């Protein structure tokens, strides 16, 4: 029906006849001459109709926003001074000869160039929202990203293999979405949180290099970069160690950013151990663009007469840390109170601070309500360790190490953005040497930090069984960009004795392991190669490249923060007969 997209009509087609189709973006009547900006996914094109062509002019005069039109006309230069440098077609226009109305449209629920449309309205009318140029560009970017990933991995010998969507519920992770079985009364499938076990089975099957751009599902609380269903690039390979896997994936990501985003990333990416990341930044996914670090000062404060500092300093699971804010002396008391309220969301009971006027003058050059509790020697060493200068401010966190790390890590990001302290645009980082296990104080037990199929750095089953669980490290690795985890993976356990030992340390007995993972344990007995892999969050990658504020803006049909689809009104109740077929009875919560 058309010869060109609207955005493809440029001066290269001067004096040629073209046929174009699209939506009326806007219509303007200028003294008897009608202008229609026609829009499709490639851009806008100005079409001019004059009264000399009666039929076409009359039809153009009736056209309204979002009508679908087909137009035939001749390409010509725009009059001098009317060019639009923001459009690919901005130097030319089409003189309309014929026009056909393919479909009319009701007045849309919002104008496509409105900036203050509520997200609920946008999602309810997603078919209109997706017509906005920025939304179309986001999805075009997404297609370019997935296309590049396919080409790169195909060229490196990886096979695109599908894994099941209906599988078995798995422990040790987020909640599963369950699907009742009609043929197996009382039994349920689970939608996969990831293809983890299946991709390991593919390695055991000798397929050597696998990948899949796959839909995954997690029934968990949502936020800006999470959805109940999301997409990831899943990769697994045999006979490669962690350095080889991360090097290849780094090459893929560097080339992806160059081709799709026009960004040059450093080569190689810096690497940092988990322990160093948490010590210096309080988090295992630090944004290296922010020039602030956490410094442990608990050893200086264990004997002070200030229990807020002394108690956590003496606690083996406590921490007292300081963070220097360059130029932070200018912060007002109101701003500091707002930051105190902010860290309270992460469990912090308060936010101590010292304003640095003149570090050379010792306590006399400082300003803080806590100075009276600190000896001169401790103050001097704190200034030295933090590298404080005149005009800076030092924030303190004192509590359980988890609370201090989480609160100061979040504060670091908040202050870095508030004070415009970011250095550079892109900061990739590999985080390595993760702990094998983490202790949950609420449950009183250890959990796998990644998943229970991650290989430990030790090759000895005896060491795994007898060593302090908090001292054991895994062969895991995460790729972080600008403080966002884009992907994570590990070398997997390929020996049955080691896998059984890991299950034991996690409190998963032989009978439970056989019930839940019997097929995996059986497969490990039949010649499993060393293997490992990684999974990248596709939605997050596209979100960062597109500069979007939420992954909902780079997904065609996302859910809301409550997991609802406003477009289709899902989830919804179903008929009683359908529930009977599934052997399911609904028990609604009691009101009140």
Q: Which residues are annotated as a binding site for L-aspartate?
A: 172, 218, 450, 492
Closest CA to 447 of 388, 506, 369: 506
Task: Summarize the annotated binding site as residue ranges.
Answer: 172, 218-220, 227, 450, 485, 492, 537-540
Question: In b/e form, how buried is each residue of 332-347, taking b as 16+ CB within 10 angstroms?
Answer: eeeebeebbebbeebe
Beta-strand runs (E) in 203-330: 209-217, 229-238, 271-273, 294-296, 318-325
The alpha carbon of 26 is separated from its chain's Cα centroid by a whole number of angstroms, namely 35
Helices (H), 211-273: 242-256
Cβ pair 504, 176 in contact under 8 A: no
The rounded distance, in Å, linking the Cα atoms of 177 and 184 is 17
- Phi first, then psi, for residue 305 (nearest 5°) are -90, 55
Question: In b/e form, how buried is each residue of 510-536, taking b as 16+ CB within 10 angstroms?
Answer: eeebeebbeebbebbeeebeebbbbbb
Q: Within the chain, how many helices (H) and strands (E) appear? A: 17, 22
Residue pointed to by tokens 């309080």: 282
Task: Summarize the annotated binding site for ATP as residue ranges.
Answer: 218-220, 227, 485, 537-540
Cβ pair 359, 365 in contact under 8 A: yes
The rounded distance, in Å, linking the Cα atoms of 23 and 112 is 12
Positive/negative CA dihedral, 180, 183, 186, 189? negative
303 three-class SS: coil
**Which tokens in the block code for residue 350?**
């308060």
Instruction: Kindly list the distances between the CA atom of residue 506 and the CA atoms of 217, 307, 380, 448, 513, in Å, as whole numbers in the listed order.
Output: 24, 36, 45, 7, 11
CB within 8 Å of 477: residues ≥ 6 apart: 242, 245, 246, 430, 431, 432, 434, 488, 489, 490, 534
The rounded distance, in Å, linking the Cα atoms of 449 and 433 is 11
The rounded distance, in Å, linking the Cα atoms of 11 and 374 is 73
Question: In b/e form, how buried is each residue of 290-306, taking b as 16+ CB within 10 angstroms?
Answer: bebbbbbbbebbeebee
- DSSP states of 443-505: TTEEEESS-TTBPBS---HHHHHHS-GGG-BBSEEEEEETTEEEEEEEEBP--HHHHHHHHHH
| Residue 19 β-bridge partners | 72
Torsion of CA 120, 121, 125, 128, to 10 degrees: -120
Cβ pair 99, 69 in contact under 8 A: yes
CB within 8 Å of 41: residues ≥ 6 apart: 5, 7, 136, 140
The alpha carbon of 206 is separated from its chain's Cα centroid by a whole number of angstroms, namely 32
Closest CA to 380 of 367, 355, 396, 361: 361
């Amino acid at each position: 029906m058309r010869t060109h997209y609207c955005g493809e009509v440029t001066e290269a087609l001067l004096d040629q006849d073209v046929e174009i189709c699209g939506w009326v973006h806007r219509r303007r009547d200028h003294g008897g001459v009608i202008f229609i900006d026609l829009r499709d996914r490639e851009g806008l094109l100005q079409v001019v109709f004059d009264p000399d062509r009666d039929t076409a002019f009359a039809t153009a005069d009736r056209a309204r926003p979002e009508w679908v039109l087909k137009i035939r006309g001749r390409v010509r230069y725009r009059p001098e001074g009317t060019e639009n440098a923001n459009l690919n077609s901005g130097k030319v226009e089409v003189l309309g000869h014929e026009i056909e109305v393919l479909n009319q449209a009701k007045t849309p629920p919002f104008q496509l160039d409105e900036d203050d449309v509520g997200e609920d309205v946008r999602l309810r009318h997603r078919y209109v929202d997706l017509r906005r140029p920025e939304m179309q560009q986001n999805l075009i970017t997404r297609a370019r990203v997935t296309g590049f990933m396919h080409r790169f991995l195909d060229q490196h010998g990886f096979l695109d293999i599908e894994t099941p969507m209906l599988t078995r519920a798995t422990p040790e992770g987020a909640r599963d979405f369950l699907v009742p079985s009609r043929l197996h009364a009382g039994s349920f499938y689970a939608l996969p949180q990831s293809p983890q076990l299946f991709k390991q089975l593919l390695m055991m099957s000798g397929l050597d290099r696998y990948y899949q751009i796959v839909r995954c599902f997690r029934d968990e609380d949502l936020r800006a970069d999470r959805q109940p269903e999301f997409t990831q690039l899943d990769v697994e390979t045999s006979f490669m160690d962690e350095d080889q896997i991360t090097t290849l994936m780094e090459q893929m990501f560097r080339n992806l950013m160059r081709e799709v985003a026009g960004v040059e990333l450093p080569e190689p990416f810096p690497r940092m151990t988990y322990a160093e990341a948490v010590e210096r930044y309080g988090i295992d996914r630090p944004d290296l663009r922010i020039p602030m670090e956490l410094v442990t000062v608990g050893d200086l404060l264990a004997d002070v007469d200030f229990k807020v500092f002394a108690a956590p300093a003496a606690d083996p699971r406590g921490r007292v840390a300081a963070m220097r804010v360059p130029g932070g002396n200018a912060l007002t008391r109101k701003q500091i109170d707002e930051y105190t309220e902010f860290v309270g969301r992460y469990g912090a009971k308060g936010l101590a601070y010292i304003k640095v006027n003149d570090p050379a003058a010792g306590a006399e050059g400082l300003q803080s309500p806590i100075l009276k509790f600190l000896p001169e020697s401790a103050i001097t060493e704190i200034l030295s360790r933090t590298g404080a200068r005149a005009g800076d401010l030092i924030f303190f966190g004192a509590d359980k190490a988890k609370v201090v790390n989480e609160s100061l890590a979040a504060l670091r990001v908040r202050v870095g953005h508030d004070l415009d302290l970011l250095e550079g645009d892109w900061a990739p980082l590999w985080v390595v040497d993760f702990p094998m296990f983490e202790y949950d104080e609420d449950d009183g037990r250890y959990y796998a930090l990644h998943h229970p199929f991650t290989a430990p750095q030790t090759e000895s089953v005896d060491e795994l069984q007898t060593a302090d669980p908090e001292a054991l490290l895994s062969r895991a690795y995460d790729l972080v960009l600008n403080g966002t985890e884009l992907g994570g993976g590990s070398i997997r356990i390929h020996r049955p004795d080691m896998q059984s030992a890991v299950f034991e340390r996690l409190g998963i007995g032989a009978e439970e392991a056989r019930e839940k993972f019997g097929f995996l344990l059986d497969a490990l007995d039949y010649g499993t190669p060393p293997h490992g892999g990684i999974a990248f969050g596709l939605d997050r990658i596209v979100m960062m490249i597109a500069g979007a504020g939420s992954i909902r803006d780079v997904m065609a049909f996302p859910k809301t923060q409550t997991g609802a689809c406003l477009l289709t009104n899902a989830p919804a109740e179903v008929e009683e007969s359908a529930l009977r077929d599934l052997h399911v009875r609904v028990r609604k919560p009691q009101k009140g």
